[in-house]
Structure 1
């Protein structure tokens, strides 16, 4: 069979890139600040983000394929096309669950990128299997390059977007994610040839490809806009704009509101969120974007960052000894002065000693009465 020549409708190519970008922005924005929310709220936000990101991946692919111009008519099998969309949503959901319900490490970020990278490839080739009236022929080199490129680019996208969860990184991650999906699609197409397998008299779609593409693009934008309006606010509220270490007690009396400190500290165990009374926690140690809390002779994982813990907890109960440690003075067994810093001896499993930085030395000594 002769190999068919093909070109692309550049307007639909540009539209597919826009779809990938807006989907990336929506998904990454919906997952910002989830550590401050309950487990059910996190699950809901992840579900919405998976639909936005996964649906955006599929929409980008579908619009780009509708922009493919062959010398014959072709259309897509509806069932196979639906399966490819569900695969994209599923793999993105798995990756987001990994990122938001496990400790976020370089290995976790890489794992999430690989899962989404392979998911994009699976979605692409499943979708291509739905082509009717023509058949794609793949080259081993094209498949290999698409797989490696997809994994590498998606690892980079997650690494950037989750390196620091701020607006700048979300925007950079959006660009990287959208570019990754876009580039992988056309790398895969570059390694694909097409041959005719049917006649143009066979029944095809009643809607033109351009009209169908416009419908998919508009649907994607409306869905993402709805999720953004209901799920997040990208404009930082005034109260959140205060620096983490801003002391509300330093505000003018007329504007001062009595701070409400958390009475309980959450920790994750057996897939559920439990709570310790704040006074029963001996120490809190930073661990990346999260913390470990030490209570009842054991160590537990907490979704709060050390900055959030310091902001939420009563300074009368917890004292900051170091940028990575908060200590309950009631559990300090002894204090050791070391020139311009010190050590709090805690006798806790996995945390026998807590460093006291030079900047915090005077405050810690005052709290301990030494």
Structure 2
């Protein structure tokens, strides 16, 4: 009886010891698995479970956990590469993208959105709510589900260039119609008056008696008609240039010597800064020279029109550089005073001028030249420092 009891007790002790050891082994393995997933959840893949000098069961478990870690690490790296790839694509497009949640928090955005909304940081829609009302920003909004949450994807596009092109096209069509009709009307009148004047001159040469008063008045009237018609034709031909910009013949040229030549034609000291010094542009140099010359001439005239002496040293500055899209930028700046807002909004409209003897064709023709050259011409003003800048962009 005592022998059987001892056996039972021994078996129970062995069972308890075995259970405790098995339980402790189980707990260690559970901790290892938990450590694996906690580390992965925190983005830590620097750990490795040892496989040397381990019993067979631990070695198999550690090898399996290491394989799981490598698989998840590889999957995470692929996901990060994919996200980086998509982010680069988003930042490469000119369309601004914003992902906004139901509380108007901006979850994601691209660089174009920052540029179009003129801000460095985007965290909430309230930051740019007023800017989004700009008529030059086209907005397209779609609904989506992101990680179980309702979000809005807002796409922004700058349509100011398209509006400007449409406006210029409308002016070109109008000018073509007007010049065609005026030329058709005035040319016969000018031609007829010239013919009649020649006949009167022939009669005067052949006549022995002095010219009667009525005939003298007739000649004077015909001369007036002829002169007025000729001046009107010259006037119309001047505006026809706006609609007949020659086709650009682009070629590479160095920007710095080009700007130096432009400055020599200007009757004013001009500061020149080119970055880098060997900056090259691909455009029709003769057409671009027309634009730069016109802007420099306007700057000089602005200084001549000043009613009082400037409080700071007057300057005209040419600054050439490249932007993030590798486009060549030429800024033509001066501190001859700001252009009032009501005038600045009309300066590129053909025929608009504030000068008594101005034609109103210079700036509109310059913008048209840049347009057919694939670039742009725009105005910006630093109201804090009183600096006016016309920006030429050569794509």
TM range (shorter): under 0.3
Query: What is the TM-score when the length of structure 2 is the normalising length?
Result: 0.22
Query: What is the TM-score when the length of structure 1 is the normalising length?
Result: 0.23
Higher relative contact order (CA 8 A, sep 6+): 1
Max Rg structure = 2
